[in-house]
Amino acid sequence: MNYKEQADQMVNEYRMILMNENTDCGNEILCTTIAVKCALVAVNQLQLQAGNQKFGNYLAMQYWLDVEKEIENYEQ
């Protein structure tokens, strides 16, 4: 899966969780905003994990940095 597809999948999974809840978060714009923030938290954790591996994992780190950039595009 490329970084664009990964970003879309992460944001959409969080968005669907939020939209399916019985809360006031039924507003799609609000759900998308929260989903983006959740996806960024997850990506940051994955980046830390990739960086903490013995000798670091450059390819994994670069992949998650690219995913992060795509997710940030949702905020604009």
Tokens in use for 21?
A: 């809840």
pTM for this prediction: 0.85
Determine the 3-state secondary structure of 55 from DSSP.
Answer: coil
Measured CA to CA, the distance from residue 66 to residue 56 in angstroms comes to: 17
The tally of domains found in the chain comes to 1
Structural domain for 18, as ranges? 3-74
Q: How confident is the model at residue 73 (pLDDT cuts 50, 70, 90)?
A: very high
pLDDT, residue 24, reads: 64
What's the DSSP call for residue 12? H
